[in-house]
């Protein structure tokens, strides 16, 4: 997340104009500060907070901002701030649950340059990259791409190939991952414990920019990608030491209503055994869309239970953005 208190990376960690092969000032100015206010009774308020702050990246001449969706989920008010000091209200235009991308339409002139989109496919492990936050060089970081691999999140989220960088940018939400040509390769999503060689160190996970192009038109037109949404259980499943553990439940969500409890072990779904979170999610999603019955096999205090969860649509639980 971003932080409004004064801070800066050490000068040796910051990108320099004479060290890069692109217009660094233009790239820095394409990243804006994003502040979002969420109603107290919002579904995600208890988990993500009601005052959220992070970054966004201008990707079109009209000022369209790409960010990470959790910053703007259920947002009532959004404010965008440029490096030049301009502050403009924004509207939460779209949030794609599958990729995690969010779009914000400024309701005034940002006068910030758009950042050209590149491709995560053109960036390889070991390549030098740049993690750009709002606030210029002092909030930007030279880094390396450590890995490109699958990522599964406990909030029922899966990327076939996420991007992992190190060292960590500690204000990661919505930050721009920029390649050596100054093009956007990904959007900052998480702080993670990443392993580089034999050393364990914190890093960041980025959503590849390649996932945006196939759905951008649909997000702009309809606020969500085309096709039926994935079935949602509201079950925060975590993978630890080869086991799947229900770490928590969305209040009033499908899994809680079906009798699933925090601490349950997930043994299987739809008659098949599973031990990885990614495999579990794929098995659930293959069953159909919202409304489908998801048969679960669970272990609770030494007993094996079989419960059926009628999946829901996550969007039905969220407050919809208002057009100011």
Instruction: For the chain, list the domains and their CATH numbers.
Output: 1-227 (2.40.10.120), 235-317 (2.30.42.10)
pLDDT in tens, 106-125: 999 999 999 999 999 999 99
Position 322 scores a pLDDT of: 60
Position 193 scores a pLDDT of: 84
Per-residue exposure over 24-48, b if at least 16 CB sit within 10 Å of its own CB, e if not:
beebbbbbbbbbbebeeebbbbeeb
Position 120 scores a pLDDT of: 96
Position 1 scores a pLDDT of: 47
| Per-residue confidence in pLDDT tens, the chain, 324 aa | 455 568 899 999 999 999 999 999 999 999 999 999 999 999 999 889 999 999 999 999 999 999 999 999 999 999 999 999 999 999 999 999 999 999 999 999 999 999 999 999 999 999 999 999 999 999 999 999 999 999 999 999 999 999 999 999 999 999 999 999 999 999 999 999 865 554 567 999 999 999 999 999 999 999 889 888 999 999 999 999 889 999 999 999 999 999 999 999 999 999 999 989 999 999 999 999 999 999 999 999 999 999 999 999 999 998 766 654
Q: Could you give the dihedral angle defined by the CA atoms of residues 90, 92, 94 and 96, in that order, rounded to the nearest 10 degrees?
A: 120
Whole-number Å distance between alpha carbons of 186 and 66: 10
First to last CA, the chain: 25
Contact 74, 38 (CB under 8 A): yes
Q: Strand pairing partners for 141?
A: 131
* Cα separations in angstroms, 76 against 32, 36, 174, 204, 262: 19, 7, 18, 28, 31
Position 86 scores a pLDDT of: 96
Position 282 scores a pLDDT of: 97
Residues 6, 7, 8: CA angle, nearest 5 degrees? 140
Predicted model pTM: 0.94
Whole-number Å distance between alpha carbons of 163 and 10: 24
pLDDT in tens, 201-219: 799 999 999 999 999 999 9
């Amino acid at each position: 997340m971003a932080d409004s208190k004064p801070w800066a990376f050490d000068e040796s960690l910051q990108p320099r104009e004479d060290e890069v092969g692109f217009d660094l000032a233009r790239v820095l100015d394409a990243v804006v500060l994003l502040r979002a206010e969420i109603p107290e009774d919002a579904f995600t308020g208890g988990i993500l907070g009601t005052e959220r702050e992070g970054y966004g990246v201008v990707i079109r001449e009209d000022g369209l901002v790409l960010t990470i969706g959790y910053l703007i989920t259920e947002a009532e008010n959004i404010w965008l701030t440029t490096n030049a000091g301009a502050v403009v209200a924004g509207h939460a235009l779209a949030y794609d649950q599958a990729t995690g991308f969010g779009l914000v339409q400024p309701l005034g002139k940002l006068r910030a340059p758009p950042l050209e989109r590149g491709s995560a496919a053109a960036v390889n492990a070991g390549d030098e990259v740049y993690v750009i936050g709002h606030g210029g060089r002092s909030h930007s970081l030279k880094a390396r791409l450590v890995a490109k691999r699958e990522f599964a999140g406990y909030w029922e989220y899966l990327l076939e190939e996420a991007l992992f960088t190190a060292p960590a940018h500690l204000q990661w939400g919505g930050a721009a991952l920029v390649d050596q040509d100054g093009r956007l390769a990904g959007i900052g999503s998480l702080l993670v414990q990443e392993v580089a060689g034999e050393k364990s160190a914190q890093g960041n996970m980025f959503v590849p920019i390649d996932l945006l192009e196939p759905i951008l038109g649909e997000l702009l037109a309809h606020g969500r990608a085309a096709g039926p949404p994935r079935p949602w259980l509201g079950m925060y499943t975590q993978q630890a030491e080869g086991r799947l553990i229900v770490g928590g439940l969305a209040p009033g969500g499908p899994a809680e209503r079906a009798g699933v409890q925090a601490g349950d072990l997930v043994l299987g779904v739809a008659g098949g055994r599973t031990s990885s979170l990614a495999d579990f999610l794929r098995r659930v999603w293959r069953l159909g869309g919202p409304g489908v019955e998801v048969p679960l096999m669970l272990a609770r205090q030494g007993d094996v239970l079989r419960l059926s969860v009628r999946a829901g649509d996550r969007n039905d639980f969220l407050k919809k953005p208002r057009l100011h």
